[in-house]
Amino acid sequence: MKDFINSLGVILFATLAYATPLIYASLGSCFSEVSGVVNIGIEGMMTAGAFTGTVVAYFTGSPWIGFLCGGLAGMLFGALHALATVRLGADQTIAGTAINMLGPGIVIMIAYVLFNSTDTIPLTAEQRIPTLFKGVFNTETVFGRFMDNVFATYFSTYLVFVAVIIVWFVFYKSRFGLRLRACGEHPEACETLGINVLATRFKCVCFSGFLAGLGGACVTMTISNQFRPISIVGQGFIAIAAVIFGKFRPHGALIGCLLFGFCSGLKTVIGGSSGIDMQLISMIPYVVTIIVLILFVGRSRVPSASGKPYVKTK
């Protein structure tokens, strides 16, 4: 029984740790997709955020400045994607693919200039995002260890649940949210009502990049302690899958991210005790992603104008 409770606590801790970056990225994807712009460049934006957050935290010694700069780096690539798709009318899928190639390429080049390596220098404990409630619970008892595993987690994890509430409120309880949802459904009607569709979509894609950048920074400033070229591989697409699973709603995407986080947490526990080949165990989150896409992609209602460039009438 004690072993089961300990294992459950470890799984829950890993679930929250692995789900946090995905939640940030999926919230960003919701902003872009619901406003009518397909953004498969989430992966590249996360990569930019992961590298920038780590480097800034290393040179400044402040995890919060690094975390914020990670979001701003993602926003920069989001603005680039918005410029191409919203302002210039480029194909959104091709532009997103270009972002996914451009992001890793640029940061690896900068890494070589700064560190003469594709990897950054590992962060110290003071340079990483801190944990809350560490040392509060008595880890000498089974219940204390369980509570420590579940609640003594990173500050960014608590922050992301606040972000979900804020994004939900913006989407469904604010004028801006009503306008962004309308821009994804009937942009022509929005224009007749005086809503600037292009400006709204541009802002949403920038928000998308900012949140994706925060998600990337979470990966390298919590789960690991340095940036590597493989730090983000696949996580941007898993976040997009979570959005599809959640039917393009922030609270639905949250559930999808927790599911994928649970699969990653299960992977860490199984990998340490089962004797099964780690290559097979590492496939668990990606296999679940494929299954989710097969089962839910047809059931999710995509915004009517999603992926369709809008040309403002004169």
Whether residue 314 is contained in a domain is answered as no
Question: Token pair of 309, please?
Answer: 């460039």
Whether residue 20 is contained in a domain is answered as yes
Q: pLDDT tens, 125-159?
A: 899 999 887 777 777 777 777 777 778 788 999 99
**C-beta neighbour count of 117 within 10 angstroms:** 11
Whether residue 303 is contained in a domain is answered as no
Cβ atoms of residues 220 and 50 within 8 Å: yes
**C-beta neighbour count of 168 within 10 angstroms:** 17
Taking the C-alpha atoms of residue 237 and residue 166, their distance in angstroms, rounded to an integer, is: 23
CATH number at residue 165: 1.10.3470
Q: What range defines the domain where residue 137 resides?
A: 2-296
pLDDT at position 278: 67
pLDDT at position 275: 61
Whether residue 301 is contained in a domain is answered as no
pLDDT in tens, the chain (314 residues): 666 677 777 788 888 889 999 999 999 999 999 999 999 999 999 999 999 999 999 999 999 999 999 999 999 999 999 999 999 988 999 999 999 999 999 999 999 999 998 999 999 989 999 988 777 777 777 777 777 777 878 899 999 999 999 999 999 999 999 999 999 888 888 888 888 999 999 999 999 999 999 999 999 999 888 999 888 988 899 999 899 888 889 999 999 899 888 887 777 777 655 566 667 777 777 787 788 777 766 666 778 778 778 777 65
Report yes or no on whether pTM surpasses 0.85: yes
- Measured between alpha carbons, how far apart are the two ends of the chain, in Å? 70
pLDDT at position 98: 94
Domain count, the chain: 1
Whether residue 312 is contained in a domain is answered as no
Cβ atoms of residues 231 and 54 within 8 Å: no
Whether residue 180 is contained in a domain is answered as yes
Whether residue 173 is contained in a domain is answered as yes
CA–centroid distance for 184 within its chain: 21
Question: Token pair of 57, please?
Answer: 């935290």
Whether residue 140 is contained in a domain is answered as yes
